[in-house]
């Protein structure tokens, strides 16, 4: 076989991979966008819109998976990992804020590695929910959310594997640990402030009672 025919065959294969990539990337970007919108609605307490957007995301990624399945090279490229990571983050944030429960990877067809790194990212969104609860003087809610953050971190720290096996998880755990520590400090300060306000109110009431006498 002459070289021209050899190279032509390889070029055809790569052109096919490039075509798949060009069709897949917009789908991945759209999925990421919908996940972000879903989380925003969840923070507002609108879980109907949040769940609808998550379902849209799942359908988009199913289409993207169908495209990628036509090429072994593209299947091995992890081109959809970032989108699946966002979906893992969003599904857990929505589920935790709505029902106080975690979402498993099988529920949304998320591969294991992106699920773990997406779960790590959920810690940051839960911190936002803790701060919202503190502003609303809902200490019990803030404490429960912090417990969930700590549960995520403790669970992920058990995956003590090299970066080559779970890319970026160690770094994300370091970030999550820092977020948990800051949030614990914020919650402690919030509890102390609430107690102080309560004591001041009691003092004011005692003063008023004394004046009436």
Mean per-residue pLDDT over the chain, rounded: 91
CA distance readout (Å), 203 to 54, 137, 200, 210, 212: 50, 20, 5, 11, 14
- Model confidence over 113-171: pLDDT tens digits? 999 999 999 999 999 999 999 999 899 999 999 999 999 999 999 999 999 999 999 99
pLDDT surpassing 80 at residue 25:
yes
Q: What is the token pair recorded at 5? A: 């025919």
CATH T-level topology, domain 1-100:
Methane Monooxygenase Hydroxylase; Chain G, domain 1 (1.20.58)
Domain boundaries of the chain, sorted by first residue: 1-100, 111-213
CATH hierarchy code of domain 111-213:
1.20.58.2140
Residue whose entry in the numeric block shows the structure tokens 């004591």: 199
Overall pTM > 0.85: yes
Residue 163 three-state SS: coil
């Amino acid at each position: 076989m002459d070289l021209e025919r050899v190279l032509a065959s390889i070029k055809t294969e790569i052109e096919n991979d490039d075509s798949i990539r060009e069709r897949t990337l917009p789908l991945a970007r759209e999925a990421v966008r919908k996940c972000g919108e879903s989380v925003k609605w969840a923070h507002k307490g609108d879980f109907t819109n949040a769940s609808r957007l998550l379902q849209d995301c799942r359908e988009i990624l199913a289409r993207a998976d169908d495209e990628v399945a036509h090429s072994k090279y593209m299947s091995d490229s992890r081109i959809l990992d970032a989108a699946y990571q966002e979906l893992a983050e969003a599904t857990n944030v929505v589920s935790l804020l709505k029902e106080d429960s975690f979402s498993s990877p099988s529920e949304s067809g998320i591969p294991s590695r992106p699920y773990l790194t997406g779960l790590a990212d959920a810690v940051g969104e839960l911190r936002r929910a803790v701060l919202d609860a503190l502003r609303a003087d809902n200490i019990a809610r803030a404490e429960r959310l912090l417990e969930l953050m700590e549960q995520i971190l403790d669970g992920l720290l058990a995956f003590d594997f090299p970066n080559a096996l779970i890319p970026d998880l160690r770094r994300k755990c370091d970030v999550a640990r820092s977020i948990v520590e800051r949030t614990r400090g914020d919650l402690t300060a919030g509890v102390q402030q609430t107690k102080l306000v309560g004591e001041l109110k009691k003092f004011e009431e005692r003063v008023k009672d004394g004046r009436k006498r």
